[in-house]
Structure 1
Amino acid sequence: MNPVLPLAVLGLVDAAFSGFRAYAGRDARIRKHRAVLRASLRGLAVGSVLLLAPALAAGSVLLLAEDTDRAYGALADGGTGFLVPLGAYALAVGLSLAAYFALPYRASTLAMVVGLGPLTLARPLVVAGACAGALVAGGGWTSLLVGAVAGAAVLCVEPYVHRRWYAFPA
């Protein structure tokens, strides 16, 4: 299985959520759908650019490899190992979001506090676990390198969007 497409989708969805988190709490208006959409699109745009870094790292690994097929196989194995913790994390976030939107007010607030809050704080640990998964799954040091570049890219989206657009009150 080639993990590139699922990893790219997860990275872009995470970037959109990072843009939203960079904006969240900055505006007291009741109707702020446009501002939320704009913040999410900003995160998506920044994430799209930053996620070129792991693609370039993987391309460099393949260009510099003596045995391209072996290097591709190692990157694919590492990508699968990287995907497993991220997929479990995305499933937990998805279930928390579903509970937030589907349950009554008090229960949805509890889902937010118990689920989404701690999961947001755990993001860097999950990314570190994904990097370890890339190494352990047989990807080797090259997969760890590409995974670390990808992890740094997704973790940099929210701070960049915050500093670029939301650091000062409007």
Structure 2
Amino acid sequence: MTPALLLALLGLVDASFSGFRAYAGRDARIRKRRATARAALRGLSVGSVLLLAPVLTAVTVLLTASDRATTFDTLVAGALGYLLPLTLYTAVVLVSLLAYFFLPFRASTLAVVIGLGPLTLLRPLALAAACAGALLNGGGPPSLLVGVIAGAAVLCVEPVVHRRWYARVS
């Protein structure tokens, strides 16, 4: 699997997590698995649209480059550097989400408090680490540009989902 596809997959997982987070805490019912799954799907749909921005940026960088082969290699190197911090972050998020969805009520609540809560605060730091990884791995300015746009796109998913579906208290 190419680094770009892996990054897209990680972005979509993060988008689902953002949709879940936009909904979390808005409903006092104990049994709300259907609603949380719907929120995750909403995040996935918004993320799918927003993640077109870095794809279009990468395509534009490639099409406007004087040496497309070198630029492509630079983007691939940057994508590999971007991938490691995000893979680690996403693995921890997935473990926390699996604990939330499949453990008994008390344990799933604990998973949210000690796992998903702090991870929300670490998202921008994980993206900054990914951008640094892209540069350190030889991605250069083209990879940093695509990485920053991708980071901005995934950070926008939760506010968009919140504003569209959960801004009003029902």
Normalising by structure 2, we get a TM-score of 0.90
Q: What is the match of residue 138 of structure 2? A: 138
Which has the larger displacement, 56-65 or 105-114? 105-114
Aligned residues: 170
Which has the larger displacement, 84-93 or 150-159? 84-93
Question: Structure 1: 5+ residue runs without aligned partners?
Answer: none
CA–CA distance in structure 2, aligned partners of residues 83 and 17 of structure 1: 18
Which has the larger displacement, 29-38 or 98-107? 98-107
Instruction: Describe the SS at the equivalent of 2:2.
Output: coil
Instruction: Describe the SS at the equivalent of 2:139.
Output: helix
Q: What is the match of residue 90 of structure 2? A: 90
Q: What is the match of residue 126 of structure 1? A: 126
Q: CA deviation at 1:31?
A: 3.2
| Aligned CA distance change for structure 1 residues 31 and 103 (closer, same or farther; 3 Å) | closer
Which has the larger displacement, 23-32 or 58-67? 23-32
For each residue in 1:83-105, what CA deviation from the matched residue of structure 2 results, as whole angstroms up to 9, or x when unmatched? 01001111222333455567676
Which AA in structure 2 matches 1:128?
A
CA–CA distance in structure 2, aligned partners of residues 131 and 122 of structure 1: 14
Which AA in structure 1 matches 2:83?
L
Question: Structure 2: 5+ residue runs without aligned partners?
Answer: none
Which AA in structure 1 matches 2:95?
L
CA–CA distance in structure 2, aligned partners of residues 127 and 133 of structure 1: 10
Which has the larger displacement, 109-118 or 37-46? 109-118
| Aligned CA distance change for structure 1 residues 66 and 79 (closer, same or farther; 3 Å) | same
| Aligned CA distance change for structure 1 residues 23 and 80 (closer, same or farther; 3 Å) | same
Q: What is the match of residue 28 of structure 1? A: 28
1:70 equivalenced with 2:64 (yes/no): no
Q: What is the match of residue 149 of structure 1? A: 149
Q: CA deviation at 1:107?
A: 5.5
CA–CA distance in structure 2, aligned partners of residues 104 and 125 of structure 1: 31
Q: CA deviation at 1:41?
A: 1.5
CA–CA distance in structure 2, aligned partners of residues 141 and 53 of structure 1: 17
**Please, what is the CA RMSD of the aligned residues?**
2.0
Which AA in structure 1 matches 2:113?
V
Alignment of 1:5-44 (within 5 A): 5-44=5-44
Which AA in structure 1 matches 2:146?
V
Which AA in structure 2 matches 1:126?
A
| Aligned CA distance change for structure 1 residues 45 and 105 (closer, same or farther; 3 Å) | closer
CA contact (8 A) 2:14 2:90 kept: no
